Amino acid sequence: VAGKRVLDFAAGSGLVGVAAMKAGAASVLCADIDPFCQAAVAANATANDVTLAFTQTNLLDAPPPEVEVICAGDICYERPMTDAVLAWLALAREKGTRVLIGDPGRTYFPRTGLDFLAEYRVPTSRELEDQEIKRSSVWAMP
């Protein structure tokens, strides 16, 4: 992402946006429709001494923005949302945007049509997940 414009889609707390800026991204737009995310993104940007833009606009209502990389994490836990997001991401990919998807093994994650990049073992808690260590993978749209 060094030198690139990045969209952290379904940003949550902005963790991916922070990582992108720390890796040298030119800019990051964090997008999430959850009204609590803006405060979390701002707090994490401040704590990590990076600048992150934020939008609460539902980006699925318009063509994908002009960025070089879209990172979308944990988007496949509900069928209608998964279908809508994957179709929107495919439009971005067709325009030449690099699309990276992080997924911790959610039910509606597609089992075909993506290129596997990496797998990580992520510590979590039983209050959030069904395991103390969650396997999470990163995939790219070809």
Ordered by start, the domain boundaries in the chain are 5-140
DSSP E strands, the chain: 5-9, 27-31, 53-55, 69-73, 98-103, 115-123, 133-140
The pLDDT tens digits of the residues spanning 46-98 come to 999 999 999 999 999 999 999 999 999 999 989 999 999 999 999 999 999 99
What pLDDT is stored for residue 42 in this prediction? 98
Residue 131 pLDDT > 90, yes or no? no
Q: What is the pLDDT of residue 13?
A: 96
In this predicted model, what pLDDT tens digit does every residue of 25-51 receive, in sequence order? 999 999 999 989 999 999 999 999 999
28 vs 2: CA distance, rounded Å: 11
pLDDT of 139 strictly over 80: yes
Say if CB 25 and CB 50 are below 8 A apart: no
Structure confidence at residue 105 (pLDDT)? 85
pLDDT on residue 133: 87
Q: Provide the 8-state DSSP code for 93.
A: H
Using pLDDT thresholds of 50, 70 and 90, give the confidence band for residue 9: very high
User: What is the second-level CATH architecture of the domain 5-140?
Assistant: 3-Layer(aba) Sandwich (3.40)
Q: Residue 2 pLDDT more than 90?
A: yes
Contact 33, 96 (CB under 8 A): no
pLDDT score for 100: 98
Mean pLDDT to the nearest integer, 3-20: 97
Record the pTM.
0.92
- Nearest-10 crossing angle of helices 15-22, 37-47: 30
CB 129 within 8 A of CB 116: no
50, 19 in Cβ contact below 8 A? no
Does the pLDDT of residue 140 top 80, yes or no?
yes
